Amino acid sequence: MYCIHCMNNISTVGTDALEAAGYAFVEDPAAANAWLVRSANLNEMEMPHDLLAIARAGAGVNNIPVERCAQQGVVVFNTPGANANAVKELVICGMLLACRDIIGGVEWVHEASDDPQIAKRAEKAKKRFAGFELAGKRVGVIGLGAIGAEVADALIALGAEVMGYDPYLSINAAWGLDRRIEHATDLDQLLSACDFVTLHVPATDSTRGMISAEAISKMKHGAVLLNFARDALVDEQALAEALDDGKLARYVTDFANPASANMKNAIVLPHLGASTGEAEDNCAVMAANQLRDYLENGNIVNSVNYGRVDLGPLVSGTRLALFHENVQGVIGEVSQAIARGGLNIENMSNVSRGANAYTLLEVTGNVTDALVSELEGLTGIRRVRHIVR
């Protein structure tokens, strides 16, 4: 039986499914074989010896020490696309909030609510909250993954012109994009051409601070910046100055922090992008299914630190799962040790991602503790799992 610890509240459709499959939920993270997490920050945490996997019910994994986990043979999963629709809807809402002073108008009505003359006064007051339309404006989408692509499609449906920038887009993902999205070949081209710029990239070493003072200086005067990705993408001091002096008209963000919460002309939300029942359910179910497939079958689907390996369900027999460095000779040493142990390899898959490699073997014969110890002792091996149905 496997034990799971939840680092955050996870939708019960995911946790119930795990319980129904015989999994136990434990209070102590060190007693768990897998953690389910949303935004809890695990970066400073030690990974306990028995921890096999972490499943992020969501997209961003900047709260997880992904590479350190890889070194320890801990697989980190996320749930690509499972909350994209929810975020898309809030991004479009954020753009519309920036087009007109809807929030100011609502506040005005609230303050005047006891006035019997409110209807007459509203007709005079409304010009203060007027604005412009999204249709016909040019919107730059930085990052055309699950969320960026959906945002781009929705904007086209609303009559906006869309320019996209994503130098890492796979050919398959590019084929799926609407042909009307104008392709920006560099970031400056997008920044200088767009009335709205919306960020949909992960927070990584290469994207942190990408909206720097210099990047802001290239944006159109009076442009609107939307950030539903991560606050670390933006130089917030440069941004506060740009909002103060009118270089940027509005900042709409999902990340409340002491800097953003006090910015002039900012609309700041409390990280609501993925907080819909539908998105929470989607993420929880996907995370639970991926954990089960890995723990019970050794298959790795949607990991951010190991490549995809899928031998299908383990119907009978036994599997050996090996985490190792992506270096020459490891597979040879492993197969020799297995042959010496009198086992036959029926099926195998080996996939590497950067420096991290994973080999899943379906074997017949008796897997002894001595063989597992021998495999663990081979140069370059990080972890060995013996999976039995």
Residues of this chain that bind ligand 3PG (CB under 6 A): 38-39, 58-60, 83, 271, 273-275
The interface mask with ligand NAD, positions 223-262, x = CB under 6 A, is -----xxx-----------------------x--------
Q: Which residues touch 141 (CB under 8 Å, ≥6 apart)?
A: 148, 151, 152, 155, 162, 163, 164, 165, 181, 198, 200
Residue 68 one-letter amino acid: R
201 and 62 in contact (C-beta within 8 Å)?
no
| CA dist., res. 92 & res. 148, Å (int) | 11
CB of 255 vs ligand 3PG, minimal distance in Å: 9
Residue with smaller CB distance to ligand 3PG, 282 or 359:
282
59 and 147 in contact (C-beta within 8 Å)?
yes
CB of 299 vs ligand NAD, minimal distance in Å: 21
To 10 degrees, the CA torsion angle through 5, 9, 14, 15? Answer: 50
Helix, strand, or coil here: 344?
strand
Binding status of residue 142 toward ligand NAD by CB under 6 A: yes
CA distances from 337 to 15, 332, 342 (A): 39, 9, 9
Report the candidate in 79, 128, 139 with the shortest Cα–Cα distance to residue 105.
128
Q: Which does 203 bind (CB under 5 to 8 A by kind): ligand 3PG, ligand NAD, none?
A: ligand NAD
Q: Which does 366 bind (CB under 5 to 8 A by kind): ligand NAD, ligand 3PG, none?
A: none
Residue with smaller CB distance to ligand NAD, 165 or 251:
165
Binding status of residue 146 toward ligand NAD by CB under 6 A: yes
362 and 373 in contact (C-beta within 8 Å)?
no
Residue found under tokens 């129904």: 20
Q: Which does 22 bind (CB under 5 to 8 A by kind): ligand NAD, ligand 3PG, none?
A: none
Residue nearest to ligand NAD (CB): 145
| CA dist., res. 227 & res. 221, Å (int) | 18
Report the candidate in 66, 55, 71 with the shortest Cα–Cα distance to residue 355.
71
Q: Which does 38 bind (CB under 5 to 8 A by kind): ligand 3PG, ligand NAD, none?
A: ligand 3PG
CB of 186 vs ligand NAD, minimal distance in Å: 10
Binding status of residue 194 toward ligand NAD by CB under 6 A: no
Binding status of residue 271 toward ligand NAD by CB under 6 A: yes
Q: Which does 202 bind (CB under 5 to 8 A by kind): ligand 3PG, ligand NAD, none?
A: ligand NAD
Binding status of residue 306 toward ligand NAD by CB under 6 A: no
Q: Which does 143 bind (CB under 5 to 8 A by kind): ligand 3PG, ligand NAD, none?
A: ligand NAD
Binding status of residue 98 toward ligand NAD by CB under 6 A: no
Binding status of residue 84 toward ligand NAD by CB under 6 A: yes
53 and 294 in contact (C-beta within 8 Å)?
yes
Strands 53-56 and 34-37: parallel
Residue found under tokens 């012109």: 161
Q: Which does 146 bind (CB under 5 to 8 A by kind): ligand NAD, ligand 3PG, none?
A: ligand NAD
CB of 354 vs ligand 3PG, minimal distance in Å: 22
| CA dist., res. 380 & res. 361, Å (int) | 17
DSSP letter for each residue of 214-239: HHHHHSPTTEEEEE-S-GGGB-HHHH
Q: Which member of 48, 80, 317, 341 binds ligand NAD (CB under 6 A)?
A: 80
Residue with smaller CB distance to ligand 3PG, 59 or 288:
59
CA distances from 354 to 70, 152, 225, 305, 307 (A): 11, 31, 34, 9, 9
Residue found under tokens 């002309």: 265
Residue with smaller CB distance to ligand NAD, 63 or 318:
63
Binding site for ligand NAD (CB under 6 A): 58-60, 80, 83-84, 87, 142-148, 165-169, 200-203, 206-207, 228-230, 254, 271, 273-274
